[in-house]
Amino acid sequence: MSARTAKAGGAGRTRRIVVNPLARIEGEAELHLTIRGGHVADAQLKVVEPPRLFEAILRGRSFIEVPDITARICGICPVAYQMSAVQALERLCGIEVDPQVRRLRRLLYCGEWIESHALHVYMLHAPDFLGYEDALRLAADFPAEVRRGLRLKQIGNDVVRIVGGREIHPINVRVGGFYRVPTVAELQRLVEPLAWARDAALETVRWVANFAFPDFEQDLPLVALVHPDEYPMSDGRIGSTQGLDIPVSEFDTHFTEEHVEHSTALHAVGPRREPYVVGPLARYTLNFARLPEVARTAARAAGLGPECRNPFKSILVRAVEIVAACDDGLRLIAEYEPPAAPAVAAPPTAGTGYGCTEAPRGICHHRYRVDARGTILDARIVPPTSQNQKGIERDLRRFAATILDRPQAELVWKCEQVVRNYDPCISCSTHFLKVHVHREHRRR
């Protein structure tokens, strides 16, 4: 257990709780909570991930290298970075990919959703609800469930591998399409595993629905892609529960990033500088009607309505989204015919391109300015976790206030769970900075 508490010397009864490092998240972060006079005075999710300066190192590279380079931002959701990047650059070049290529890309993305969500549901999040330190200890008492989770994750990985070449940092995605497209027979081999996975995902929904969920609602605007015909993944307009409806190219005019000192992720804020939340709850609430029937039925049976604002139930929504991704994957494979060519030519074009897709953790927005030779002049990448950071801290403040009377160990664990509700991916956040500038904060 890595939590520490300190009591202040003079300024009344002040309790500071520091969890460092915060476990079962992707990348490194710390949780800081300050309780003064029986109230939560401050809650911070501090990011200890060193900056990797992706936007700076992209300058001067060729636009065709962008999907390979941006994949390296995150080992858990490389496909999300590749998909947002190729969308931005293809729109800039004025090219439209073959409908079958679009289908394959969505299938690839389904694989990533299955893999990433299964990792989070089973390995990172379920142990919180059942009171285990980790999934390996969970496996001692719930062997069948953990094995099911691992197999689900493996099938997601298999989809990414067959379409993308390998699970982590796929090699097959290029501006204009793919390097090589799979044969019908190669995809057919995924049908049986995906059908099993859809059943396993339905089991997952039923299993998770029995967990105890605190009565707690997120009160911030939810932001996600919306699409008229499909549950959003690789395409759509940006919508919100406040009625926002804009093309992805207008992201910059409605959302801004702030460089705040304590965490140094660039926090994103919405139109009126208010925080907002992206991810499964936002997608689900804005797109319930576009979920496949099997996923909607499973959601209703699990007690979910057409909206969900309880962040603790994000695990349930992720399980529903695994059902949707498996079902969608099967549909895409059934409709697949190899395109005439794996890619269309992408002539370098001067200008600015915008892309936005739904990473498993929420919208991932990219903007590239390119010259006529295809050289990147400027890049801006807004990953989901930096958009969620303010919402996470707000949840921490609000939720911690309701459980201050609980024993220390329980309070700390619950606060960790509040953070893990968002499946934060710290590695993802290209903007994240160091944290130990604020060490004095910890020692006070």
Partner 1 sequence: MSRSPKPRLAVWKFASCDGCQLSLLDCEDELLAVAGAVEIAWFPEASRAMTRGPYDLSLVEGSVTTPHDAYRIHEIRKASKTLITIGACATAGGIQALRNFKEVRDLVPMVYASPGYIEILGKSTPVAYHVFVDYELRGCPIDKRQLVEVITAFLHGRRPNVSAQSVCMECKRAGRVCVMVAHGTPCLGPVTHAGCGALCPAFHRGCYGCFGPKEAPNTPAMASAWQALGADSAELIRVFRSFNAYAEPFRRESEAHER
Residues 97-156 that bind partner 1 (CB under 8 A): 119, 123, 133-137, 139, 146-147, 150-151, 153-154
Token readout for 37 is: 């006079």
The structure tokens 């992206």 sit at 278
Cβ 223 vs Cβ 274: under 8 Å = no
Q: Which is nearer to partner 1, 282 or 426 (CB)?
A: 426
Q: Which is nearer to partner 1, 109 or 122 (CB)?
A: 122
Decide if residue 84 touches partner 1 (CB under 8 A).
Answer: no
Decide if residue 369 touches partner 1 (CB under 8 A).
Answer: no
Listed ranges 75-83, 106-114, 240-248, 361-369: which one lies at the site for partner 1 (CB under 8 A): 75-83
Chain center to CA of 425: 7
Q: Which of 36, 51, 310, 441 binds partner 1 (CB under 8 A)?
A: 51
Host H or E run for residue 362: strand 362-370
- Beta strands 3-7; 362-370: pairing state: unpaired
Cβ 411 vs Cβ 400: under 8 Å = yes
Q: Which is nearer to partner 1, 215 or 261 (CB)?
A: 261
Please report, as residue ranges, which positions from 382 to 421 form the binding site for partner 1 (by CB under 8 A): 413, 416
Beta bridge partners of 382: 365
Decide if residue 59 touches partner 1 (CB under 8 A).
Answer: yes
CA–CA separation, 295 and 287 (whole Å): 12
Q: Which of 13, 39, 166, 406 binds partner 1 (CB under 8 A)?
A: 166
CA–CA separation, 234 and 252 (whole Å): 19
Query: Which are the contacts of 122, defined by CB distance < 8 A and separation ≥ 6?
Result: 135, 145, 146, 148, 149, 150, 152, 153, 204
Q: Which is nearer to partner 1, 256 or 297 (CB)?
A: 256
Q: Which is nearer to partner 1, 59 or 206 (CB)?
A: 59
Nearest by Cα to 32 from 44, 49, 14, 50:
44
For the bound state, the minimum distance from the C-beta of residue 97 to partner 1, rounded and expressed in Å, comes to 17
Q: Which is nearer to partner 1, 229 or 261 (CB)?
A: 261
Q: Which of 36, 165, 195, 203 binds partner 1 (CB under 8 A)?
A: 165
Cα 237 to Cα 241, 363, 366, 412, 433, distances in angstroms: 13, 11, 14, 38, 30
For the bound state, the minimum distance from the C-beta of residue 272 to partner 1, rounded and expressed in Å, comes to 20
CA–CA separation, 284 and 291 (whole Å): 8
- The footprint of partner 1 on this chain (CB under 8 A) covers a number of residues equal to 71
Alpha helix positions (H), 356-438: 384-402, 408-420
For the bound state, the minimum distance from the C-beta of residue 332 to partner 1, rounded and expressed in Å, comes to 20
For the bound state, the minimum distance from the C-beta of residue 156 to partner 1, rounded and expressed in Å, comes to 10
Q: Residue 21: is the preceding peptide bond cis (ω within 30°)? A: yes
Binding mask of the shown chain, residues 252 to 281, with x at each position contacting partner 1 by CB under 8 A: -------x-x--x-x---------------
Decide if residue 423 touches partner 1 (CB under 8 A).
Answer: no
Listed ranges 39-47, 104-112, 177-185, 293-301: which one lies at the site for partner 1 (CB under 8 A): 177-185
For the bound state, the minimum distance from the C-beta of residue 62 to partner 1, rounded and expressed in Å, comes to 7
Listed ranges 174-182, 333-341, 358-366, 399-407: which one lies at the site for partner 1 (CB under 8 A): 174-182
Burial (CB < 10 A; 0-12, 13-18, 19+), residue 395, is buried
The structure tokens 């190192």 sit at 57
Decide if residue 26 touches partner 1 (CB under 8 A).
Answer: yes
Please report, as residue ranges, which positions from 296 to 355 form the binding site for partner 1 (by CB under 8 A): 342
Q: Which is nearer to partner 1, 120 or 227 (CB)?
A: 120
Cα 119 to Cα 116, 315, 358, distances in angstroms: 5, 11, 17
Q: Which is nearer to partner 1, 244 or 376 (CB)?
A: 376
**What number of CA atoms fall less than 13 Å from residue 52's CA on the CB side?**
15
Q: Which of 41, 56, 130, 301 binds partner 1 (CB under 8 A)?
A: 56
Nearest by Cα to 298 from 414, 199, 183:
199
Cβ 435 vs Cβ 21: under 8 Å = no
For the bound state, the minimum distance from the C-beta of residue 150 to partner 1, rounded and expressed in Å, comes to 4
For the bound state, the minimum distance from the C-beta of residue 241 to partner 1, rounded and expressed in Å, comes to 29
Nearest by Cα to 385 from 159, 158, 116, 32:
116
Listed ranges 72-80, 224-232, 291-299, 330-338: which one lies at the site for partner 1 (CB under 8 A): 72-80
